[in-house]
Chain A
Amino acid sequence: MNVLKAGARAFLHLFGLPAALLALWWFFAARSDSFYYPTLNEILSAFGETWFSSRIVDDVLPSLWRLAVGYLGAVVLGVTLGVLLGSHRQLRALLEPVLEFFRAIPPPVLIPVLMLFSGIGDSMKITVIIVGSVWPVMLNTVEGVRAIDDVLADTARCYGITGAARLRRLVLPAASPQIVAGMRQALSISIILMVISEMFASSSGLGFAIVQFQRSFAIPEMWSGILLLGLLGFALSLLFGLLESRVLHWHRGLRQSQKGEK
C-alpha cells in the first residue's frame, strides 16, 4: 500500500508539472489563432511527420554523433588535464592565468574562428563542443585531485600503489564525485554548443533543421524540433543520473554516514 503511494508520488513528482504545463499550452495555443503559435495538435502531428522520416539519418544522427564525440572528447581531455594540473602544483601555478583567460571566452565566438581553420564540417563542430565543455570537467577534476585525503595517499604509497595503479585505484575514484559534477555541467554545455554550431554553418543537424524550418515559415515543424531537443536533453539527463548512481553509490553512502555522526 505504502509502496503504491510512494510510487504514485514519485510519478507525480516526475511528470506532474510537465503534464500541467502541456495542458496549459494546449489550452492557450488552441485558443490562439496566431500563425506563430500553432496548436499542440499541429505540433505533435508535425513531430511525427518531420522526425520519423529520413531526417533521423540526415539530421538527428549527425547531431548525436557530433555531441557524443565532442562530449566524450571533452571528458577525456578534461580529466587528463585535470589530473595533471591537480597533481603538479608548479604546473598549475604556471598555467592558471592562461587557462582562466581561455575559460572566460564564450565558446560560440570560436565558431567563426574555427570555421577559418577547419571549415564547416563535423570537425569544426566537434572542436567547438570540446573547447567549450572541457572547462567544467577540467576544473572540477583539479579540485577533486587536490582534495585527496593525505592519509589515504600515504596508505597507497606504503603499500606500493604507485604509477598507473595509483591513478586507477586512488586518484580517479577519489576525484570521481567532482569529475561527475563537472561532467554534468559539461553535458548541458555540449548540447547548447552542438545546436549553436549547427545553426551557424551547416548542412545537417538539429540546429540546422530548426533554422531551416524557421526561414521557410514551417512553424509547427520548427516547434517540433525544439520539442525534440528538450526531449533529448531530458533523456540524456536521465541516462546520466543512472550512470551517476552507479559510479557514486559509495559516495552517497559515505556522506549519509557522515551526516549521521554529526
Chain B
Amino acid sequence: MTSTDVKSAVRADSGLLDVRGVQKTYYGSGRTVEAVRDLTFSVGTGELACIVGPSGAGKTTLLKCIAGLLPPTGGEVRLGGARVQGPPPGMAVVFQEYGRSLFPWMTVADNIALPLKQKRTPKPRRAALVAEALESVGLRDVPHAYPWQLSGGMQQRVAIARAIAYEPDVLLMDEPFAAVDAQTRAELEDLTRSLWRNLGMTVLFVTHDIDEAVYLGQRVLVLSGSPTVVMEDVAVDLPAEREQLSTRALPRFAELRAHVYEQVQRAKTFHTAPAAGASA
C-alpha cells in the first residue's frame, strides 16, 4: 500500500524539470561565446512548455544542457530531483538537424527500433510500437526505405516517430517542424498535443514560430537574445481542447500571440541598455 504510494509519487515527479541558474560559455580557440547567461525556470511533470527566442539565443544550447549532452558552465539542471550529469533514461530528443540524426545505414524501421532494442523492449512490442509511430506521423508506407531516400520533411517525421515510439517521460523537441509543409505541420502539431495528453509526458518544445508556440503550449517561455535570460513566462490560458481553425480564431489567441510577438521584438534589443551595465 505505502510502497505503491511512494512509487507513484516518484513516478509523478520523474518528469519534473528544474533549470537553475544555467549558464553556458563556449570556449573555442581564441573565441569565447557566452551563449546562455542565466536561465532559471521549471517545467512540471506532464506540462507542455514552448520556448521561443531569436536565432542564436541559445535555445539549442539550453536543450543540450537539459539533455545531459553538454555540461553547463554554471548552475544545474535537475530532473525528478536528481542532478542531470549525462543523458537521463526516459528522455527523448528530436534534434534541429534531423537529417543528421538518422542512421543512414539503417532502414527507417530499424532507426526507430534501435532505441527500443537498447531498452530491451520485447520484439513483438517493439514491432507494434514502430508500426504505430510510423502510422501516427503518416509514414506507414516507408519502413524499409533508407533515410536518404526520403524528403527532408519525411526524415523529420522519422526522427519524431523514433522519439514517440520510445515512450519517453520527457520529450525535448528543437524546432521539429521547420522542414515540413503547412498541412503536415498542422497535423504534427495536433499529434504532439494528443500524444502529450495521452502519454502524460513532459514536453519542452523549441520553435521560431510564435503562432505555433501559443497554439501548442500551456506556457510560452520567451528568451532574450544572446547572452540569454528568460525574459517572460507567458501562461497560455486557452481551452485544453485545441483545434487548428477555431482555436486560432479565438480573440484570446490573437491577444496572446500579439503579446508574445511584442516580447520577442523586445528580446532582440533586450541587452543593448542593460548589457552595458552588466558587463562593466
Contacts and interface: CB of A to CB of B under 8 A. Distances in A.
Contact of B97 (A151, A165, A170, A257): A151
Contacts of B148: 250, 253-254, 257-258
Nearest to B95: A151
| Interface hub of A155, A160, A173, A250 (most chain B Cβ within 10 A) | A155
B103 A170 contact: yes
Contact of A158 (B67, B104, B105): B67
Nearest to A160: B118
Contacts of B115: 159-161
A250 B100 contact: no
Given A151-B97, A154-B69, A159 B104 contact: no
B122 to A, nearest CB: 17
B88 to A, nearest CB: 9
Given A165-B118, A253-B148, A254-B148, A158 B100 contact: no
Contacts of B166: 159
Interface residues of A, number: 22
Given A155-B93, A160-B118, A253-B148, A169 B87 contact: no
A88 interface: no
A152 interface: yes
A49 interface: no
Interface string B58-85: 0000001001010000000000000000
* Dominant SS among interface residues on chain B: loop
B91 A161 contact: no
A9 interface: no
Contact of A154 (B95, B105, B118, B149): B95
Contacts of A154: 64, 67, 69, 93, 95, 101
Given A169-B114, A250-B146, A253-B149, A159 B103 contact: no
Interface string B256-269: 00000000000000
A149 interface: yes
Nearest to A261: B152
Contacts, number: 62
Interface residues on B, range: 20 to 34
Interface in A37-81: none
Interface in A160-215: 160-161, 165, 169-170, 173-174, 176
B69 A157 contact: yes
A173 B110 CA distance: 14
Most interface-central of B64, B95, B101 (chain A CB within 10 A): B101
B31 to A, nearest CB: 18
A34 to B, nearest CB: 55
Nearest to B64: A154
Given A160-B118, A169-B103, 18 more contacts: A152-B100, A152-B103, A154-B64, A154-B101, A155-B93, A159-B118, A160-B115, A160-B119, A161-B114, A161-B118, A169-B114, A170-B103, A250-B146, A251-B105, A253-B146, A254-B146, A257-B148, A257-B149
Interface of B: 64, 67, 69, 86-87, 89, 91-93, 95, 97, 100-101, 103-105, 114-115, 118-119, 146, 148-149, 166
20 contacts: A151-B95, A152-B100, A154-B93, A154-B95, A158-B67, A158-B69, A159-B114, A159-B118, A159-B166, A160-B89, A160-B119, A161-B115, A173-B103, A174-B105, A250-B146, A250-B148, A253-B146, A253-B149, A254-B146, A257-B149
